[in-house]
């Protein structure tokens, strides 16, 4: 649902890219917390194999520090808020608090659609 609402970003990006430089972007880069802004811009371009879609996650004190917010890079599959995705969780499935100096990036899960990709 969030992806659907945010997809206006991708539609507008395509429109402006065509208008300003007459073609699609080569690369789309998004900073991922929950992944909604990433899917918002990516959704419009998922079928375009010539557009590279790149996400960046917060590494915090490092991916091996246990203090980061890199759910795609270091998470494991689980269910949170009723959705299966990658999660920062311990061996018993309890959520591990993510860490980033970017408050909006501190989410222990990530979009199911990004997890599936």
Ligand X SMILES: Cc1ncc(COP(=O)(O)O)c(C=O)c1O
Positions that interact with ligand X (CB under 6 A)? 31-38, 104-105
Q: Which CB atom, from 88 or from 105, has the smaller least distance to ligand X? A: 105
Beta strands in the chain (DSSP E): 27-32, 52-57, 76-80, 83-87
**Shorter beta-carbon distance to ligand X: residue 1 or 92:** 1
Ranked by CB distance to ligand X, the top (closest) residue is: 104
Smallest separation, CB 33 to ligand X (Å)? 3
Helix residue spans in 22-98 (DSSP H): 36-42, 71-74
Nearest-approach distance from CB 110 to ligand X, in angstroms: 8
Asked if 56 and 32 touch (Cβ cutoff 8 Å), the reply is: yes
């Amino acid at each position: 649902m969030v992806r659907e609402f945010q997809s206006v970003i991708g539609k507008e990006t395509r429109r402006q890219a065509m208008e300003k430089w007459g073609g699609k972007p080569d690369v789309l880069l998004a900073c991922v917390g929950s992944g909604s802004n990433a899917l918002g811009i990516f959704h419009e371009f998922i079928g375009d194999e010539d557009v590279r879609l790149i996400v960046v996650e917060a590494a915090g004190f490092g991916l091996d520090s246990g203090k980061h917010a890199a759910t795609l890079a270091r998470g494991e599959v689980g269910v949170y808020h009723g959705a299966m995705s990658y999660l920062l969780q311990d061996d018993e499935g309890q959520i591990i608090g993510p860490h980033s100096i970017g408050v909006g990036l501190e989410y222990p899960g990530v979009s199911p659609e990004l997890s599936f990709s």
